[in-house]
Every structure is written in C-alpha cells, then in structure tokens.
Amino acid sequence: MKAVVYRGERDLAVENVPDARIENPLDAVVRITTTNICGSDLHMYEGRAGVEEGKVLGHENMGVVEEVGDGVQHVRVGDRVSVPFNIGCGTCRSCNEGWTSFCERTNPIEGMQGAAYGYANMGPYAGGQAEYLRVPYADFNLLQLPPGEEHENDFTMLSDIFPTGWHGVELSRFEPGDSVAVFGAGPVGLLAAHSARIRGAGEVFVVDQHADRLELARQIDTTPIDFSDGDPVQQILDARGGAPVDRGVEAVGWQAHDPSGQEHPELVLDNLVSVVKAHGGLGVVGVYVPQDPGAPDEQAADGRVGFDYGTFFTKGQHMGTGQAPVKRYNRQLRDLILAGVATPHFLVSHELSLEDAVEGYAQFDERREGWTKVLLRPDGGVAAA
C-alpha cells in the first residue's frame, strides 16, 4: 500500500510499504478515506520530536472498515468510522476512568503511558497517512458514523483536533458565560475557540499573527488579536476595559515564538498567567516534550520550561494539561455536527491526494498564506463537506 514515510528532517516520501493487516483477533483494518496533516506532525517533520526513520505518519484518520479480526464483535465490515488518535485497550485503570490518552497497556516504551498512530514515542503503530490502517482493540476504539460521504470534512476532525480543542476548554474549568483567551489560531486553537462559543462563552479572544488564521477567528464570532501589533495581553485588557479573562487555552506548545520568529518556550504560558484572572483556569493542549534536540537552550532541551510560576501561584490559578482522551468527547461532538451546531469543516483549506502529501507538508510547515488545514485523500477524491 502507499503511505507517507518519514525519512529525516523535512524529508518525507510517499512509498509502497507492507499492507496493514490483522495481527490480533481484536484488530480491524480500515480503508482510509480522509487523513489530515496535524500541526503536531510538524514537530516530527522539522526533526524536533525524535521520530524514527521509516515511520508511517498520520494520527488524524477516518474511513471504512475493510476487515475485522475473529474477536471483534460489534464493528462490521463496511462501517464508516472515525479513528481516535489515542489507542486504548479499554480495560486498564486509565481507560476505565476515561483517560484513554494514558492507556497503561498499549505503549511498550518504558515509562510512557498512552499510545498513538504514527507518532514519536507513542508506540510501534503505523500511522494512517496511507491507504489502510490497522486499528487495535477495534470494538473499543472505533467511533461509528452515518454511512455515505456527508459531513466528511467535519467528521475528519473527530479523531484529534476537535476533541483536543474541546479538551483545552474543559481543562480550564470553563463555565457558560466565561470569557476566554485562546493563544494560537492553528486548527486546535480555532476549534478551542469554536468549542468555547458552542459552550456559551461570553467573549472569546484568539491570539496569533497570521492574517488568514485571524480572519477565520473573526468568521467564528471571536475577537482576533494580532500579537505582531503589540503585547497581546495588553490588547486583551484594553478591549475589556482592564479586566482579565476567566479562562485561557494554550494551543501553541513549546515552539512558541515572538513576532521575529525567535523561540521562547515559556512565552504563551507567561502571557496566559498575566491575562487570566486570579483563581482562573488554564487549559494547556499545545505540545510540550521531555526532550528536544533543537531547543533554544539547555533547559528547554531537557523539557524544562521556566514560566512565571511565582505569579501563577500568587494568583491562585489552576492548570490542566495533556493530550485529549478523544473517546471522552467524540460521540457528543459527532452528534453536535449532525445537529448542525458544530461546523469544524470551516478550517479546511486544501484537499490533496496522498501523492501530494510531501508538498502539503512543505506548504503547511512554511505557514503559507491560506494553508490552514490540509486533508489527504488516499483515493484521490474530494468528499462532501
């Protein structure tokens, strides 16, 4: 089968690799209809996440079940499904408590909890930027979708970025009527803002410096803040007559940078501590890593980020962090899409064939104007939104 394979820093290839196959009675094989390029894929693409050469990438996947193992009882061949990026066993303590993002059995790497498709340090699993994908524990992990092609560009967000954006708002301990500042207008940040609006936020600010992303923020009824125009904290405070916001969402991660492009891993955390009220909440879903060989200093290279903890403590703020447990949210978000309440397809800028994935990565990595969300179609088709 054809797949997107990591060959080195900014070096990908679409190659023939061994077909995905049933390896365990609880497996299914899914024929991929849509797989997305995620912002977190760029950490690996840029050589910043330690992924091994030869890895098939891709953790935002959906498709149609092609084959099931003998032990699969509920998923059927022909089912249209969303594949959560978390791979959960369904029986460990973490999975039973709803934290599939920290499954205790699926990642054989010592000291690591949680597994995912096609990602560094998240287990031996091939990704879904390919024609087919093996899904372990299929009955537990797969979310069934209505048959056909309707809402394809919405449902493809259910594997990761829509639940992750929702999770960022949830981690902040959001309540209806709260004001929210989202830092980062990439796909996760925009869907965090969309989630906050769906959940009844009184006011939402979205901070970035890219005009195309800020325009999307405006289109979903949020207030865009361009940090290249000046201190984003002061801009938000000025817009609110000096009042801080109730909640903040970090959707940037450790590669945060200033308007000149210089990296400051602590930058967004410091801004959130400043702009969120005393006893307010921060939800951190931007990626931070234990090791980064390309970090700007030795501390950051070891995963140590020196943010303004003194003010964070003094203000009595709280912080929630970590990867989203997709299964906690994806059924409800699917149903919000079907009800017309959620429309995450607004992000989509490009729909490419799998053969064009290398170009898609390059354009997305360079933050080219208008490249806000890239979908890949292994069959070369363009599905109904």
Kindly tell me if the per-residue pLDDT of 385 is higher than 90: no
**Residue carrying the six token digits 């990595």:** 365
Angle at the Cα of 97 (from 175 to 319), degrees rounded to 5?
40
Residue % of the chain over a pLDDT of 70: 99
How far is residue 295 from each of residues 44, 184, 265, 337, measured CA to CA in Å?
14, 20, 9, 39
CATH number at 161-321:
3.40.50.720
User: What value does the mean pLDDT take over residues 195-204?
Assistant: 98
Identical fold at 2-160+326-337+344-377 and 161-321? Answer: no
- N-to-C CA span, the chain: 26
pLDDT of residue 383: 53
pLDDT (tens digit, 9 = 90+) per residue, 281-334? 999 999 888 888 788 888 888 889 999 999 999 999 999 999 999 999 999 999
How far is residue 374 from each of residues 119, 153, 325, 360, measured CA to CA in Å?
18, 11, 23, 7
Q: Which residue ranges make up each domain of the chain?
A: 2-160+326-337+344-377, 161-321
Two structure tokens written together for 88: 């959960």
pLDDT band at 49 (very low <50, low <70, confident <90, very high): confident
pTM of structure: 0.95
pLDDT of residue 255: 85
pLDDT of residue 295: 83
- Give the residue, 121 or 139, on which the prediction is more confident: 139
pLDDT band at 373 (very low <50, low <70, confident <90, very high): very high
Distance CA 4, CA 17 (A): 9
Burial of 376 (0-12, 13-18, 19+ CB in 10 A): buried
pLDDT (tens digit, 9 = 90+) per residue, 155-187? 999 999 999 999 999 999 999 999 999 999 999
Cβ-based neighbours of 107, under 8 Å, separated by 6 or more? 113, 114, 115, 122, 123
User: What value does the mean pLDDT take over residues 4-32?
Assistant: 97
Q: What is the DSSP letter of 115?
A: -
Longest dimension (CA), the chain: 63
* Domain 2-160+326-337+344-377: CATH superfamily, name plus number: Medium-chain alcohol dehydrogenases, catalytic domain (3.90.180.10)
